[in-house]
Amino acid sequence: MGSGPAGLGTAFHLNEREPNLSVLILDRSSMSTGGLRNDCKMNFTYPVGFPEEYWDRVRANKALKEVKRFLNPPILPTRNLEIYKKRSEKLGVELLAIKQSHLGTDGGIILIGELMESLKTRGIETSLGEEMVDIEERKHLIVTNKREIGYKKLVLAPGRQGFNFLQSMMSKLGVSYIDNVIDVGIRIETREQYYPIVRDYYDPKFLFPDKVRTFCTNSGRAYVVKERYKGSTGRDYYSVNGHAFSGNVEAPGEKNGLVNFALLKRVRFTEPLASGNEYAEMLGQMAMVMGGSRPIMQRVGDFRLGKRSKIDQFNGDLYDFEPSLRDCTPGDISLAIPAKVLRGIWKSLKLLDTIIPGVMHPSTIMYYPEIKRYANKPSFIDDYFQAKQDMYLIGDGAGTSRGITAAWASGIRAARGILNER
Ligand SMILES: Cc1cc2nc3c(=O)[nH]c(=O)nc-3n(C[C@H](O)[C@H](O)[C@H](O)COP(=O)(O)OP(=O)(O)OC[C@H]3O[C@@H](n4cnc5c(N)ncnc54)[C@H](O)[C@@H]3O)c2cc1C
């Protein structure tokens, strides 16, 4: 279940090794609603995207070779990295140099079309708009919103949006799990001229002290978006995110000369072992309370003066660009962000401004919240992400990946497990 990169990784690998196997991919929505459809930045350097508790370099690199064959990524050039690296090191900051491809939201949709065509040619069945709602483990069948389907092997790859569903299935089936880690932070938006490194390195990965890092940088035709998440208590919340159009194909997306990227801090709970998911929801809901059911945005200039932002400050002379996400409430992010998170992020932003002078221009916008829930960590019974006999949990929702390429790789790994058992 799930037609994201994790599910696709399993389906294609099984089909290549045993073309006669009958494979059905279900998705409640359209094909691949995660990163393949949104921005489609693909990282091909370990450990980016690979949780190190499950992946070592050798294993990840072996899988990445196969992932490349399907995704056929044009790797982006980088320039002047040594200069940025030297500046960073002096401040105790690490700049990771990685191989990356960026198809953009428009290019990603084309890639999805090609992958769908390939599934069809290979005889792999897909059923879109069909939602899985339950599992009858003893009968070896799943229940969807349309029918019951029997299975020999079941692979669940519901992505981050399916986080709650996966938790409820694990609880029902007695699969123990912990979810003690989340990333929480802000999304920065500024003019490209205030963050010109993007002309040399499309998605620069800076690692700051205190477990803060830059994440998912977009530029050129770049937009901040908001995603709705279902709260377990029935109260939904938004997390912001970002994407860009490639401009290579005829598609929407005006060149707006803006850059956006996330600054995220990792929060890991030890004792008592709190649920990262619950914590994430509460932070999200707190932001909704502050923002009148919308995310909050604040200009760096206002933040520095200890003032909230107001709507008229988004049009004036000094604040010379308009937010790409308009459906957001000007306010004071410091009222909603936990102090330790805010301290780490603000310090990192200052370090970044020393490495790339300009990013803290008063007009720069900080959007909150951006929350990543990664760590549904089931207890697996083997090395192939089998959580119960004949049931595999993979991809971002199961914490075996944190990105498109690693999600595909975790799909390959589950497929290998299935083939071994046969
Ligand atoms: C807006 C956005 C932009 C992103 N951009 C990037 C990027 O540029 N690069 C990157 O590496 N990562 C990106 N990511 C993260 C990326 O989505 C994941 O790393 C990757 O897609 C995970 O793959 P997956 O197969 O685990 O899940 P997904 O790709 O999320 O796929 C899961 C699929 O399962 C389906 N599903 C869920 N529940 C059910 C159910 N009950 N029944 C049936 N179907 C169900 C969903 O509809 C979905 O299509 C982005 C994520 C988002 C949300």
DSSP assignment of 267-302, as one string? Answer: EE--SS---HHHHHHHHHHHHHHHTTSS-EEEEHHH
CB-based contacts of 69, cutoff 8 Å, min separation 6:
none
Per-residue pLDDT band at 267 (split at 50, 70, 90):
very high
Q: What is the pLDDT of residues 122-179, one digit of tens each?
A: 999 999 999 999 999 999 999 999 999 999 999 999 998 888 899 899 999 999 988 8
C-alpha of residue 32 to centroid of ligand 1, in Å: 6
Task: Give the distance (Å) from ligand 1 centre to CA of residue 353.
Answer: 32
**Which pLDDT does position 311 carry in this prediction?**
86
- What gap in Å lies between CA 54 and CA 410, rounded to an integer? 10
Of the candidates 304, 303, 332, 299, the residue with the CA atom closest to the CA atom of residue 316:
299
> In which order are the strands placed within the sheet that holds 391-393?
154-156, 391-393, 386-388
Residue nearest to atom 33 of ligand 1 (CA): 2
CA of 128 to the centre of ligand 1 (A): 15
Pairing of strands 391-393, 386-388: antiparallel
The mean per-residue pLDDT over the stretch 65-76 comes to: 92
**Boundaries of CATH 3.50.50.60 in the chain?**
5-75+104-178+376-421
The mean-pLDDT minimum among 171-175, 236-240, 275-279, 300-304 falls in 275-279
Structure tokens belonging to residue 382? 């083997």
| Other Cβ atoms closer than 10 A to 144 | 16
Closest to 236 (Cα-Cα) out of 168, 284, 274, 280? 284
Mean pLDDT, residues 385-404: 95
Report the pLDDT value the prediction gives residue 191, as an integer from 0 to 100.
95
Residue range 46-60: average pLDDT? 94
d(CA 340, CA 250): 44
Query: CA 258, CA 194: separation in Å to the nearest integer?
Result: 9
Atom of ligand 1 nearest to the CA of 5: 25
- Residue 181 reports pLDDT greater than 60: yes
The atom number, within ligand 1, closest to the CA of 396 reads 26
What distance in angstroms lies between residue 6's CA and the mean position of ligand 1's atoms? 9
Residue 27 has pLDDT above 80, yes or no: yes
Best of 28, 99, 223, 371 for a ligand 1 pocket test (most atoms within 8 Å of beta carbon)? 28
Taking CA atoms only, the protein residue closest to ligand 1 atom 35 is 2
Where is pLDDT greater, at 315 or 22?
Answer: 22
Q: What whole-number distance in Å separates Cα of residue 257 and Cα of residue 239?
A: 23
- In residues, how long is the chain? 422
Phi, psi of 134 (to 5 degrees): -160, 165
Which ligand 1 atom sits nearest the alpha carbon of residue 27? 44
User: Cβ < 6 Å from ligand 1: which residues?
Assistant: 1-7, 26-29, 32-36, 38-42, 49, 131-132, 157-162, 165, 227, 241, 243, 395-397, 403-404, 407
Compute, in angstroms, the gap from residue 3 CA to the centroid of ligand 1.
8
Are 360 and 12 within 8 A, CB to CB?
no
pLDDT for 208: 98
The pLDDT-based confidence of 245 (bands split at 50, 70, 90) is confident
Index of the ligand 1 atom closest to the CA of residue 102: 8
Instruction: Give the burial class of 53: count Cβ atoms within 10 A of its Cβ; 0-12 exposed, 13-18 middle, 19 or more buried.
Output: exposed
- The rounded distance, in Å, linking the Cα atoms of 320 and 284 is 29
Residue 245 · residue 106 · CB < 8 Å: yes
User: At 399, which amino acid appears?
Assistant: G
What rounded mean pLDDT belongs to the chain?
Answer: 93
- pLDDT of amino acid 375: 57
CATH fold of 5-75+104-178+376-421 reads FAD/NAD(P)-binding domain (3.50.50)
- Find the 123 Cα to ligand 1 centroid distance in Å: 23
Read off the amino acid at residue 92. Answer: G
- Beta-carbon contacts of residue 173 (< 8 Å; ≥ 6 apart): 135, 137, 388, 391
Which atom belonging to ligand 1 lies closest to the Cα atom of 241?
A: 1
The yes-or-no verdict on residue 409 having pLDDT over 60 is yes
Closest CA to 408 of 4, 2, 1: 4
Assign residue 160 a region (left: φ > 0; alpha: ψ between -120 and 50; beta: otherwise): alpha
CA of 273 relative to ligand 1 center, distance in Å: 27
Average of per-residue pLDDT across 230-237: 84
Q: Counting atoms of ligand 1 from 1, which one is nearest the CA of 108?
A: 8
- The band of 249, judged by pLDDT with boundaries at 50, 70 and 90, is low
